Amino acid sequence: MRDLPVVFWLLGVAVVSLVHPFIPAPRWLMIHLLVLGAAGHSILVWSRYFADTLVRLPATPRRAQSQRLLLFNAGVLLVAIGVPGSLWWLVVVGALGIAVAVGWHVGTLIRGLRTGFASRFSSTIWFYIAAGALLLVGVTLGTWLAADPGEPLHTRLQLAHVAVNLLGWIGLTVLGTTVTLGPTMLRTRIVEGAEKHSRQALPVLLGGIALVVAAVWADVVVLVPAGLLLYAAGVALVAWPLGRTAWRKPPVSFPSWSLAAGMVWLVGLLLVLVAQVAWDVSHSGSWLEVGRTFEQYIPYLAAGFVAQVLLGALSYLIPVVLGGGPAAVRATNRDLDAGGALRVSLTNLGLLVCVLPVPSLVRVVASALVLAALAAFVPILLRAIRLRRGAPADARETTPRPHGQTTGLAVVGLALVMTAVAFGGSLDPASLGGPPKSAADGVIATGHTTTVTVEAKDMRFTPARIEVPVGDRLVIRVENTDRTDVHDLVLETGHDTGRLAPGESAVLDVGVVGRNLDGWCSVVGHKQMGMVLAIEAVGSPVAATGPGTPPVADDPGTDAHGTGHDMTMGEPADGTVIPDPVLPPPEPGRVHRHTFTVTEQGMEVAPGITQEMWTYNGSAPGPTLHGRVGDTFVIRLVNEGGLGHSIDFHAGQRAPDKVMVTIPPGESLTYRFTATRAGIWMYHCSSMPMSAHIANGLFGAVVIDPPDLPAADKSYVLVQSEHYYGAEGQPVDMDKLLAEEPDAVVFNGYVNAYDHAPLQVKVGERVRIWLLDAGPNRPLSFHVVGGQFDRTWLEGDWLLGSAEAPSRTGGSQALALAVAQGGFVEMVFDEPGRYPLVNHVMIDAERGAHGVIEVTR
């Protein structure tokens, strides 16, 4: 039970990272498998080992320790299943197991201090005791978080959870251990005063954590940066003697390199957190802003600090504990040091690339290198153990690697990271931009520079007009002061700031200006909402004496789809899945938890036409939710796109400024609502321009059954929407959208979807079709050719027939829906055949709002 669970937890992290698009809460899962699973197990094992060594206790009974480890790992497994699966009772059971195991562990440490011998490093044991006590608090907070308490309490609790678990349970354990482990790894003496610094640091570190928790408890956000700063001061007290030791005896192997790199990431990210959180507090005073900053840097703390310290420590400690004599230990150390310089350089340079504002595909490729470098520990460890068992140590012991080989491996790591950056950029060359064109227009430079600051906020540039003397060099500093939206500034010359997250800024050096220029925000829909910038060259131009600047050709652009392309007659491409129109059954229970992940991805939307669609959980429309009156829905919205997105559920009554807020890329929020009335309710992204976000796929349906709804043999859901095609692989064409000129009108996101996959019904079956018009612009008049409706239900009430029975003599030929309205129709077919279902606004049926009901005996 000592080392094997760590291998399984690390393998779990690797597997989740590879399949993360297909599982719920992958980010949460990766962090907790690493921090709670792998690191937590190692802390229980090795803190007890160090405690026994430092105070010279008798060996810990193996049976009792194995029982603690089994209880702890079982608890972590239950939590890892319960949180993504929204099984709160399982989380409670798992958390209880973790708490009992850690409490038991802390109790043995306290007894050891009382019965062991006095030691100059007894303070290390107090670090372990404090860390364990904090984990008990962290487990309680985590269990509370799993119940989704709603915003802003969720964000506040999450901050406290991170503080006590990551900075407390992990941070205190690492800082207490490195006082002795660091010099031991370097094979040198501990510098004078290291233990004194350690004793002084513990109350400072605890004070910093306590201040963050107090800020959460008292709802005083200004105390958060103060608490982080105090914690950073405690880290400095411990790190200072470690730095002196490393200066005197530099690291020369993977364990010491990895430990040193992990400590550098801890110190560096703490300083960044202090600065960023202080900025958040001073500019917004919002818990949500502070929470987003924490969420941004937690993965880097996990990978840069926790993972590297863990792997470095294990690489050093496992050979020591395996024993077998000095020769065996040296041989196993060398086996675990395989490719050490390469692994360390890949991990740290790759993480550095990920932290920087690089294109998303570059970040993906760099993160893959980091994962490979960290995951390499598992096969290297298994190989070392196999070699240890299979060959005598003397036969495997060799001379140390030459310095040149180590340097060469580090250079190879640098080259691989640079190659990854180039490869990622080549996959998305548009994100790298090209050389901008000159704005000089043949004028002579004056030698003067005009510098202007432009703010991007609320779909406007301020100022929106800039005057520049002809011949001046123009420098524009663009600041995104919006709280939620991503913006950029693109000039007609090709100058581009790149996407700026809230709070970010960039400088555009336009060069010499000799003519008027136009600029705009290139985020979809922002230009049409008014985010334009006019640059006016004022004064008399002075002609250049040379040949001048050649005229700039207009960008020819790219033709969009829709002209001369008969998309209604083709067949879907191989692998295209027509959306399933069957209404899913009502969810069991009264509280329904879901994670909606926003992505921006290419999808076939009509035969031969691929567009970049914005999706909830990879589909447009998003998932259909089905419940009953009185059910509560808890939706965790995660934005993995490149723009700000949001969600608005019509099925619940909530204050828009609380939950319908735009969240930047990489962030998340929890949206809780109770369905108090029946209907088929629309949900959609409410970020501006809303028409673009809906037209590009961010919408879906929530079906809440009326209490007296009779059973039907077949129930289907059709959601009508419109397509406004941009260029191949691009998002919505805003000019077509503003002109209300759709290329297609569709059911469930695909042109003529149910011509290709007809709805299947048998003669005599009662068929119910739920209908929602998501728009954003076109109405729906739903009709089934050759059929008649004997029940219709619109916006919460019966139009024809009743819950008791269909209409006996009356009938309906169409159900008319305006945008965002919904209802259902019912019918029974008397004879087999193919019955077209259409929007009877016939131009829209011909645009793709068409399908077939196939009736058989």
Q: Total structural domains in the chain?
A: 4
**Residue 728 domain flag:** yes
Q: Are residues 164 and 270 in the same domain?
A: yes
Contact 513, 532 (CB under 8 A): no
Summarize the confidence of residues 531-554 as an average pLDDT.
59
Closest to 438 measured CA to CA, from 379, 511, 376 = 511
Closest to 346 measured CA to CA, from 413, 301, 263, 257 = 413
Give pLDDT, residue 180.
84
Contact 601, 561 (CB under 8 A): no
pLDDT confidence band for 99 (50 / 70 / 90):
very high
**Residue 606 domain flag:** yes
- In degrees and rounded to multiples of 5, residue 689 shows phi and psi of -75, 125
Question: What is the reported pTM?
Answer: 0.62
Give pLDDT, residue 811.
93
Give pLDDT, residue 134.
95
Boundary residue ending a domain (382, 397, 427): 427
- CB proximity list for 602: less than 8 A, separation 6 or greater: 610, 611, 612, 613, 729
For residue 402, count other CB atoms closer than 10 A to its CB: 9
Going 471 to 472 to 473 to 475, the CA torsion angle's sign is: negative
Q: Quick one: 733 exposed, middle or buried, by C-beta within 10 A (0-12, 13-18, 19+)?
A: buried
**Residue 443 domain flag:** no
**How far apart are alpha carbons 101 and 309 in whole angstroms?**
23
Q: Are residues 20 and 166 in the same domain?
A: yes
**Residue 310 domain flag:** no
- CB proximity list for 15: less than 8 A, separation 6 or greater: none
Boundary residue ending a domain (397, 427, 457): 427
Structure tokens at 411: 């250079």
Summarize the confidence of residues 395-423 as an average pLDDT.
71
161 assigned binding-site residue: no
**Residue 462 domain flag:** yes
pLDDT confidence band for 354 (50 / 70 / 90):
confident
563 has pLDDT over 60: no
Q: Are residues 348 and 488 in the same domain?
A: no
548 has pLDDT over 50: no
Give pLDDT, residue 160.
93
pLDDT of 620-635, one tens digit each?
A: 999 999 999 999 999 9
Q: Are residues 246 and 338 in the same domain?
A: no
Summarize the confidence of residues 274-295 as an average pLDDT.
83
56 has pLDDT over 70: no
Closest to 642 measured CA to CA, from 664, 617, 609 = 664
Strands (E), 285-349: none
Structure tokens at 152: 């802003």
444 has pLDDT over 70: yes
Instruction: Please list the residues that pair with 754 across neighbouring strands.
Output: 851
Q: Are residues 403 and 459 in the same domain?
A: no
Contact 277, 293 (CB under 8 A): yes
- In degrees and rounded to multiples of 5, residue 593 shows phi and psi of -110, 130
User: Is the backbone peptide bond immediately before 656 cis, with ω within 30 degrees of 0?
Assistant: no
Give pLDDT, residue 145.
87
Full domain range(s) for residue 643: 591-856
Q: Are residues 335 and 295 in the same domain?
A: no
693 assigned binding-site residue: yes
- CB proximity list for 179: less than 8 A, separation 6 or greater: 121, 124, 190, 194, 195, 198, 238, 241, 242
pLDDT confidence band for 827 (50 / 70 / 90):
very high
Give pLDDT, residue 394.
53
399 has pLDDT over 70: no
For residue 814, count other CB atoms closer than 10 A to its CB: 17
**Residue 318 domain flag:** no
Q: Quick one: 164 exposed, middle or buried, by C-beta within 10 A (0-12, 13-18, 19+)?
A: buried
521 assigned binding-site residue: no
**How far apart are alpha carbons 754 and 746 in whole angstroms?**
10
**DSSP secondary structure, 819-849, as one string:** TT-EEEEEEE-SS-EEEEEEESSHHHHHTT-
589 has pLDDT over 60: yes
Average pLDDT, the chain: 85
151 has pLDDT over 80: no
Structure tokens at 248: 């005197």
Q: Are residues 103 and 178 in the same domain?
A: yes
567 has pLDDT over 90: no
280 has pLDDT over 70: yes
**Cα 83–chain centre separation:** 16
**How far apart are alpha carbons 134 and 163 in whole angstroms?**
9
pLDDT confidence band for 57 (50 / 70 / 90):
low
* Among 309-318, 493-502, 720-729, the least confident range: 493-502
Summarize the confidence of residues 521-532 as an average pLDDT.
82
**DSSP secondary structure, 8-45, as one string:** HHHHHHHHHHHHGGGSSSHHHHHHHIIIIIIIHHHHHH
For 350-358, the CB contacts below 8 A with 24+ separation are: 350/417, 350/420, 351/265, 351/300, 351/303, 351/304, 353/417, 353/420, 353/421, 354/300, 355/300, 357/498, 357/504, 358/421, 358/424
Instruction: Please list the residues that pair with 702 across neighbouring strands.
Output: 625, 681
Strands in 797-800's sheet, in edge-to-edge order, are: 744-747, 714-723, 766-775, 822-828, 791-794, 797-800
Give pLDDT, residue 565.
42
**Residue 433 domain flag:** no
783 assigned binding-site residue: no
685 assigned binding-site residue: yes
Q: Are residues 533 and 675 in the same domain?
A: no
**DSSP secondary structure, 175-212, as one string:** HHHHHHHHHHHHTSPPPTTHHHHHHHHHHHHHHHHHHH
Domain containing 534 — which CATH number? 2.60.40.420
**How far apart are alpha carbons 855 and 763 in whole angstroms?**
6
Boundary residue ending a domain (538, 553, 583): 538
Instruction: Look at strands 532-538 and 465-469 and give their pairing.
Output: parallel
* Among 215-224, 336-345, 551-560, 737-746, the least confident range: 551-560
For residue 575, count other CB atoms closer than 10 A to its CB: 6
- CB proximity list for 333: less than 8 A, separation 6 or greater: 253, 255, 315, 316, 319
54 has pLDDT over 80: no
Contact 489, 476 (CB under 8 A): yes
Give pLDDT, residue 108.
87
**Residue 438 domain flag:** no
Q: Are residues 354 and 283 in the same domain?
A: no
**How far apart are alpha carbons 773 and 616 in whole angstroms?**
18
549 has pLDDT over 80: no
- What letter would DSSP give residue 549? P
Structure tokens at 159: 């901050």
pLDDT confidence band for 402 (50 / 70 / 90):
low
Q: Are residues 293 and 343 in the same domain?
A: no
- In degrees and rounded to multiples of 5, residue 107 shows phi and psi of -60, -40
Q: Are residues 291 and 157 in the same domain?
A: yes
Structure tokens at 801: 């027939």
Q: Collapse the DSSP code of 373 into the 3-class scheme (helix H, G, I; strand E, B; otherwise coil) and give the result.
A: helix
Give pLDDT, residue 118.
56
pLDDT of 755-800, one tens digit each?
A: 999 999 999 999 999 999 998 999 999 999 999 999 999 999 999 9
* Among 348-357, 402-411, 691-700, the least confident range: 402-411
Q: Are residues 341 and 480 in the same domain?
A: no
**How far apart are alpha carbons 814 and 789 in whole angstroms?**
8
**How far apart are alpha carbons 622 and 801 in whole angstroms?**
31
For residue 380, count other CB atoms closer than 10 A to its CB: 20
Give pLDDT, residue 719.
98
Can you count the helices (H) and strands (E) in the chain? 25, 27
283 assigned binding-site residue: no
